Amino acid sequence: MALVHRVLGAHLLLFIALGSAVAEPSSTIGGSLLFQNRGMLAPLGRSAPLILASSQSSSLVSTKANLGFLAPLPPRPNPISKPALAQTLTTLSAPTYVMTAARRGLYASPKAGTSVEKIRYIIGQAESRRDGYDAVQHGAKIRPAKRPTQMTIRDIYAWIKATPGQPHAIGRYQFIPKTLKRLVTELGVPQSAPFTPELQDALSDILLADAGLHAFQAGQMKRHTFMHNLAKIWAGLPTSSGKSHYHGLAGNKASITWKAFDAQMRDIQSG
């Protein structure tokens, strides 16, 4: 009988020991300890988890002719609502906008307006100071047959397809093909829509939201953080170093100073 008790006791101790081991499983693979109770399998010592929860927004800048350069931007907390403009694009008449000398004069001086309009002005000064909404990247050897504001989205796509191997940044905000297609799709713009200043502004507003505009306006994002986010989208804007976030890549450089950029953004922030 005593022997039976000893055998049962030994089995009981073995059961307890095994239960303890099962309660906190761990294994060593290649010298890295893997923990399985944190919701994600991630070996210690890695610089980043195997799966990232946050998304990355593509930059307006490209290091090659038609490729977007990925830059980390904060994800938008809410979907961007489509403006009423998108619902009437198919009924708009042919564009009549031309960047005349008189219009250049208006474009070259800041106008009183909303904070978004003032931010657009800063970007325009950095990206397309001379030609504004009719700007085409200077590196494009084969330019469109018409002014950008007299083209439709379909016309722009056709120009891009017909002239491979060159830069295709276009308009006031220097949209590259990959970014333009994403924004057109997100806004629900038909390819028959003219590339008017109003449409260009509406497309740029999505990028402003990508950079954290709503959080900045609500006081939930610091001014310099927002400015750096903008500089990750538009290469003509400087970072606090005074240089473009993409300085030296594909010839990119900042076209305004950090001091001027910060002063204008401070005025916008103060209202």
Residue 85 to residue 170: CA distance in whole angstroms: 21
Give the pLDDT score at 78: 53
Residue 241 is assigned to a structural domain of this protein: yes
The structural domain count of the chain equals: 1
| Least confident among 38-52, 66-80, 169-183 | 38-52
Residue 198 is assigned to a structural domain of this protein: yes
Token code pair at residue 106? 């208006």
Are 204 and 230 in contact by the 8 Å Cβ rule? The answer is no
Is the model's pTM score more than 0.85? no
Averaged pLDDT of the chain: 72
* H/E run at residue 70: strand 70-71
Residue 160 to residue 151: CA distance in whole angstroms: 12
Residue 57 is assigned to a structural domain of this protein: no
Report whether pLDDT(88) > 90: no
Give the pLDDT score at 21: 41
| DSSP string across 112-139 | S--HHHHHHHHHHHHH-TTTGGG-B-TT
pLDDT per residue as tens digits for the range 17-31: 444 443 333 332 233
Report whether pLDDT(83) > 70: no
Report whether pLDDT(191) > 50: yes
Residue 192 to residue 210: CA distance in whole angstroms: 26
Residue 53 is assigned to a structural domain of this protein: no
Give the pLDDT score at 73: 57
Average pLDDT over residues 173-185: 96
Percent of the chain surpassing pLDDT 70: 58
Average pLDDT over residues 163-183: 95
Residue 24 is assigned to a structural domain of this protein: no
Are 40 and 50 in contact by the 8 Å Cβ rule? The answer is yes
Phi, psi of 12 (to 5 degrees): -65, -45
Domain that holds residue 76: 69-270
pLDDT per residue as tens digits for the range 89-111: 443 344 444 555 545 544 555 55
* pLDDT confidence tier of residue 188, bands split at 50, 70 and 90: very high
* pLDDT confidence tier of residue 76, bands split at 50, 70 and 90: low
Strands (DSSP E) found in 10-69: 27-29, 32-35, 42-43, 57-58
Give the pLDDT score at 253: 87
Average pLDDT over residues 35-53: 30
Per mean pLDDT, which of 7-11, 16-20, 54-58 is the most reliable?
7-11
Please tell me the total number of residues recorded for the chain in this structure.
271
pLDDT per residue as tens digits for the range 197-233: 999 999 999 999 999 999 999 999 999 999 999 999 9
Residue 33 is assigned to a structural domain of this protein: no
Average pLDDT over residues 106-135: 82
